[in-house]
Structure 1
Amino acid sequence: MKKILIIFILAIFATSCNEYQKALKSEDMAVKLETATKLYEKEKYFKALTLFEQIAPAYKGKPQAEKLFYMQAQSYYKSRQYGLSGYHFGSFASGYPKSEKVEEAFFLAAKSYSMMSPVYSLDQVDTDKAIEKLQEFIDRYPNSQYFSEANSIVRDLKTKLEKKAFENARQFNYITDYKAAIVALDNFVADFPGTPFKEEALYYKLDSAYQLAINSVPEKMEARLNNAKASYVTLMKFKEDTKYKEKANTMLATIETELKKYNK
């Protein structure tokens, strides 16, 4: 029985491959479309795309074109070719504004660009483009079934941009350019007041102010110690139970000790 089942499966596979090969060589566009549709329904997207790409120019303007172009865009998306799926879903949405699939196409075009967003440390051109496209979708379809997902993706992408901006500011602390770190971290907090990285930014500003102060020349030390103390107060006001509390308190103790020298 097992052997019979294996033979049956192999026969189906061979027939399927045969059908695909015949469609590839056929001059009949209808045969290619029928085979491509079957492959699409079986989730064989790469093979379906080969045929869709062959016949797409011939079907432009024809009644079958709407379904064909939708399946083509979906095939790119399902096969993770997001640059192409973004382009083709965008073209579908523009070309078929009255289609029942237009809302989905707008969303998947935008989502495709978000799927190309790289890790935060790399160039974020695709992230910016994805946010722009998703915001266009949100504005166009405020009652969409995809609205919540679109907003969630935008939040994640914006957090990625904030992470990059924060790391760019913090790097000055790492390379001991403490003056630049203080300015960069101040600018970061001003630019992203609600950022999830605010606690870290305030801590690294404190650390930079502290390091700048204790390594200062005598004539600048008092003012810089007071600036560092102010940074400590700002961090504690923002989050009294900060995960950096022990380190911050150690810095404060040193700051207070040093400041006593100026109160004699």
Structure 2
Amino acid sequence: MRNIFIILSVVLLTGCSKGINKILKSPDPEYKLRMAEKYYVKKQYNKAQVLYEDIMPFYKTRPEFSDIYYKYAYCAYNQEDYLNAENLFKSFLEIFPTNARAEEVDYMRAYSFYKQSPKPELDQTNTVKAMGMMQTFINTHPGSPRNEEAYRIIDECRHKLEVKDYKKSQLYYDMGQFRAAGVAFTELLESFPESALADTYKLMAIKAWYRFAEMSIEDKKIERYEKVITEFNEFIDRFPDSKLRKDAESYKTLSQNNIKRLNNEQIKTSA
């Protein structure tokens, strides 16, 4: 935690005005605290953060310390420094586990991970962490009024993971890597079985396996067209009323016709 303070001090002091430097030179910690509070109220969080950090050693054993640390963490958060904010919220909980603000800070720690969640194309480590932290918060605080939002965030993060996996699967298909696309769309459906696009994912798997069969060597084509038919049967079992049923049936019919043709050619060859 001390390393965090040192780093923040160097960065923040560099950007401070002469006025802040003058306040920092004051030997009066109570004056510094009053000025920090004024900056905080004015939402000048960079200045407030420098002053809070400077007076922490003096207030560490005093009743004001928890409030100072609380606002210090929010200074990082309000400057969109979510990585440091998460660390500071975590430290607050370790230092003040029974504080009246502990539930709020616990939620904000999870929310800081959510704020670090990038767009779907990028690494989703923080998205997964945010989901886990939000679920832990719900489990730890079952009666919290924040749980409704926590559930919403979990759903949003889950949708982002779905979009990422969908784009990966579609990219395989667009690049002509049909076996990989078939596997990826199948895994996508398994990961998100309740998705509104579940039948679309299954249809894409059928299409991918059909294209894979088309491009296969002759000796492998029949068994791979048979896989397309198996995929179709699973589609019907799972989505009997899907609007995509007709499209799925077209690939079954094409596969059946190709199997029939290949069998006839084999008979002619062996005759």
Instruction: State the shift of 1:71 in Å.
Output: 1.0
Q: Determine what percentage of the aligned residue pairs are the same residue.
A: 28
Residue 10 of structure 2: aligned partner: none
| Aligned-pair Cα RMSD in Å | 2.7
Structure 1 residue ranges without an equivalent (≥5): 1-16
Task: Output the CA distance in 2 between the equivalents of 1:224 and 1:55.
Answer: 71
Task: Output the CA distance in 2 between the equivalents of 1:23 and 1:247.
Answer: 72
Q: Deviations over 1:57-78 (max 9, x none)?
A: 3322221101111111122222
- Give the conservation status (yes or no) of the 8 Å contact 1:162–1:192: yes
Instruction: State the shift of 1:202 in Å.
Output: 1.0
Task: Output the CA distance in 2 between the equivalents of 1:248 and 1:234.
Answer: 11
Structure 1 residues 24, 245: closer, same or farther in 2, change over 3 A? farther
Residue 202 of structure 2: aligned partner: 202
Task: Output the CA distance in 2 between the equivalents of 1:193 and 1:242.
Answer: 15
Instruction: State the shift of 1:30 in Å.
Output: 1.0
Instruction: State the shift of 1:218 in Å.
Output: 3.4
Residue 69 of structure 2: aligned partner: 69
Residue 217 of structure 1: aligned partner: 217
Q: Deviations over 1:222-252 (max 9, x none)?
A: 3322321332343354445656566545534
Task: Output the CA distance in 2 between the equivalents of 1:156 and 1:72.
Answer: 29
Structure 1 residues 37, 116: closer, same or farther in 2, change over 3 A? same
- Give the conservation status (yes or no) of the 8 Å contact 1:77–1:85: yes
Task: Output the CA distance in 2 between the equivalents of 1:244 and 1:56.
Answer: 63
After TM superposition, the score normalised by the length of structure 1 is: 0.81
Task: Output the CA distance in 1 between the equivalents of 2:262 and 2:125.
Answer: 51
Instruction: State the shift of 1:152 in Å.
Output: 1.4
Residue 31 of structure 1: aligned partner: 31
Residue 8 of structure 1: aligned partner: none
Instruction: State the shift of 1:23 in Å.
Output: 2.1
Instruction: State the shift of 1:18 in Å.
Output: 8.7
The letter of the residue matching 1:231 is: E
The letter of the residue matching 1:157 is: C
Task: Output the CA distance in 2 between the equivalents of 1:127 and 1:250.
Answer: 39
Instruction: State the shift of 1:144 in Å.
Output: 0.6
Residue 46 of structure 1: aligned partner: 46
The letter of the residue matching 1:68 is: I
1:114 aligns with 2:114: yes
Moved over 6 A (4+): none
Which shifted more, 26-35 or 150-159? 150-159
Task: Output the CA distance in 2 between the equivalents of 1:239 and 1:155.
Answer: 23
The letter of the residue matching 1:106 is: D
The letter of the residue matching 1:90 is: K
Structure 2 residue ranges without an equivalent (≥5): 1-16, 265-271
Residue 187 of structure 1: aligned partner: 187
